Amino acid sequence: MSVSTHENRKSRASTGSINIYLFHKSSYADSVLTHLNLLRQQRLFTDVLLHAGNRSFPCHRAVLAACSRYFEAMFSGGLKESQDSEVNFHNSIHPEVLELLLDYAYSSRVIINEENAESLLEAGDMLEFQDIRDACAEFLEKNLHPTNCLGMLLLSDAHQCTKLYELSWRMCLSNFQSISKSEDFLQLPKDMVVQLLSSEELETEDERLVYESAINWVSYDLSKRHCYLPELLQTVRLALLPAIYLMENVAMEELITKQRKSKEIVEESIRCKLKILQNDGVVTSLCARPRKTGHSLFLLGGQTFMCDKLYLVDQKAKEIIPKADIPSPRKEFSACAIGCKVYITGGRGSENGVSKDVWVYDTLHEEWSKAAPMLVARFGHGSAELKHCLYVVGGHTAATGCLPASPSVSLKQVEQYDPVTNKWTMVAPLREGVSNAAVVSAKLKLFAFGGTSVSHDKLPKVQCYDQCENRWTVPATCPQPWRYT
């Protein structure tokens, strides 16, 4: 009988223990998706047609529902589209963006770049392709910059991208001087402007910038925004403004004198200012409270020994916290901060080889990346930021790899780096070649104090670079010769 035959077959397979073979083909899912995509392209077994703009896309409901809760709800609920064979998005989504989402649904792959990341994030959030939304947010986090942080702040706020929002917010606070002059700032909604200007962590060395930003924002669309002026004035620490500026500029501002509430706010701040100037008791008003600057102090590098360590000095906790190591150990390099990034340039690496490498530490993401190398390898040089560009000044060159270096090659040479274009260019050379000088920027000019001359003497000179004229001058002498300052 068939039953006994089956039992015998089962008996012969039995050895007293269960023998199981689990077959799994790792490429099976990919091959199924590939074939489904082929069926889609050939319009075989498709049961829904998506319209966007002037284009149409045949698809399989099951595939769309499997990768998007938006489509799952649409096709399984009582919506009209659950019965229709067509779904029309009209102009709510660009056809090229919809095509990218569908390609991802049928292949699990999508190319994200600077041109499509924002649109993909918006569409991914709208159609509930959460993986796409999160991937685009991660891409935008890595490409965050002072020139786009306001736009990213609004985008992340609209689509609940928490990490992108936090990073954008911190960058806006730390780069307020530059963002406040942008068109994006003037177009911000009122609540976002109030939140920015009232922040305790807003980084500004001059409260006049905050006041002028508030006035500029109101003036941008005066008929609609004048009513918000009192609320914005309350975000400004008016009593921290210079007394003459407060009484002659702010108090006389036409927008303020024409509005009773604004005028009262300014009058109160003047009373606070006079109380401060006369040292007449404690002033507790918010308009006189200094902001908590968000500057961080980092320790790194050295002259004598190779070093790959980076430390953050936590001034509140009174601790020194180790951060991500420098990828390439070195000594006698230079470090400079621009916005939320720390740039280390040149130095000497293994076997005292002189480097032209540039490493960048992103304090927001806490990670290192490599920038374009300098034009000249150097060590013992100085660096400073001027008008959002990095300048490296003097130092020893790779001409000999050791002292003394050739004064005609590197000691006089000065390079400028633009973080936006990631490019280096030569600018006017120093009047006298130096190494180990103190290099700083102030009042829109670059200064090199002292240093070591070609003959290894300590120098007393102050050399000054004017970016507009692209030339160095020697406007003063230090009180005494010095170097390593």
Asked if 300 and 344 touch (Cβ cutoff 8 Å), the reply is yes
* Cβ burial 407-438 (10 Å sphere, 16+ → b, else e): bebbbbbbbbbebeeeebeebebbbbbbbbbb
CATH (residue range 175-288): 1.25.40.420
pLDDT at 462: 94
CA dihedral 164, 167, 171, 173 (to 10 degrees): 110
pLDDT > 70 in the chain, percent: 90
* Cα–Cα dist 391/441, whole Å: 10
Query: Nearest Cα to 98, choosing from 44, 55, 34, 41?
Result: 55
Q: Is the pLDDT of residue 1 over 50?
A: no
User: What is the model's pLDDT at position 409?
Assistant: 46
Write down the pLDDT at residue 404. Answer: 42
pLDDT at 466: 95
Q: What pLDDT is attached to residue 456?
A: 78
CB-neighbour burial class of residue 119 (10 A; exposed 0-12, middle 13-18, buried 19+): middle
Query: Residue 4 above 70 pLDDT?
Result: no
Backbone conformation region of residue 80, classed left if phi is above 0, alpha if psi is from -120 to 50, else beta: alpha
How does the average pLDDT of the chain come out, rounded? 88
**In the predicted model, is pLDDT for residue 79 greater than 90?**
no
In 3D space, the residue among 139, 199, 191, 190 whose CA is nearest the CA of residue 172 turns out to be: 199
Q: What is the pLDDT of residues 18-68, one digit of tens each?
A: 889 998 999 999 999 999 999 999 999 999 999 999 999 999 999 999 999
Q: What is the pLDDT of residue 455?
A: 74
Which of 132-141, 149-158, 314-323 is predicted least confidently? 314-323
3-state secondary structure the chain: CHHHHHHHHHHHHCCCCCCCCCCCCCCHHHHHHHHHHHHHHCCCCCCEEEEECCEEEEECHHHHHHHCHHHHHHHHCCCHHHCCCEEECCCCCCHHHHHHHHHHHHHCCCCCCCCCHHHHHHHHHHCCCHHHHHHHHHHHHHCCCCCCHHHHHHHHHHCCCHHHHHHHHHHHHHCHHHHCCCHHHHCCCHHHHHHHHCCCCCCCCCHHHHHHHHHHHHHHCHHHHHHHHHHHHCCCCHHHCCHHHHHHHHCCCHHHHCCHHHHHHHHHHHHHHHHHHCCCCCCCCHHHCCCCCCCCEEEECCCCCCECCEEEEECCCCEEEECCCCCCCEECCEEEEECCEEEEECCECHHHCECCCEEEEECCCCEEEEECCCCCCEECCEEEEECCEEEEECCEECCCCCCCCCHHHHHCCEEEEECCCCEEEEECCCCCCCECCEEEEECCEEEEECCECCCCCECCEEEEEECCCCEEEEEEECCCCCCCC
**What is the spatial distance between Cα 445 and Cα 462, in angstroms, rounded to a whole number?**
12
Provide the pLDDT for residue 44: 95
**pLDDT for residue 319:** 75
Q: What is the pLDDT of residue 84?
A: 82
Of these ranges, 10-14, 240-244, 337-341, 399-403, the one predicted with the greatest mean pLDDT is 240-244
Per-residue pLDDT at 105 exceeds 50: yes
**pLDDT at residue 98, rounded to an integer:** 97
Q: For residues 213 and 180, is the Cβ–Cβ distance under 8 A?
A: yes
In what side-by-side order are the strands of the sheet with 358-362?
A: 334-338, 341-345, 358-362, 367-371
Query: What is the tens place of the pLDDT at every residue in 178-205?
Result: 999 999 999 999 999 999 999 988 988 7
Arithmetic mean of pLDDT, 441-465:
88
pLDDT confidence of residue 3? 43
Residue 317: predicted pLDDT: 59
pLDDT at 139: 97
**Residue 202: what pLDDT?**
92
Is-contact 314 337, C-beta < 8 A? Answer: no
Pair 363, 296: CB distance under 8 Å: yes
Q: 298-323: per-residue pLDDT in tens? A: 888 777 778 888 888 866 556 788 88
Judge whether residue 399 has pLDDT over 70: no
Q: What is the pLDDT of residues 320-358, one digit of tens each?
A: 888 889 998 999 999 999 877 899 999 988 776 899 999
For residues 61 and 67, what is the distance between their CA atoms, to the nearest angstrom?
Answer: 10
Say if residue 11's pLDDT is above 90. no
Percent of the chain predicted with pLDDT > 90: 64
Higher pLDDT, 403 or 328: 328
Residue 89 has pLDDT above 90, yes or no: yes
The three-point CA angle 420-425-427 to 5° equals: 125
Question: What's the average model confidence in pLDDT over 141-165?
Answer: 95
Record: fold of 305-477: Neuraminidase (2.120.10)
pLDDT tens-digit profile of 232-280?
A: 999 999 998 999 999 999 999 999 999 999 999 999 999 988 887 776 5
Q: Domain extents for the chain?
A: 28-170, 175-288, 305-477
Q: Are both 28-170 and 175-288 of the same fold?
A: no
Residue pLDDT, tens place only, 273-295: 888 777 655 566 788 887 876 56
Residues in the chain: 485
CATH class label, 28-170: alpha beta
Tokens of 296: 């961080």
- 27: tokens are 């490429």
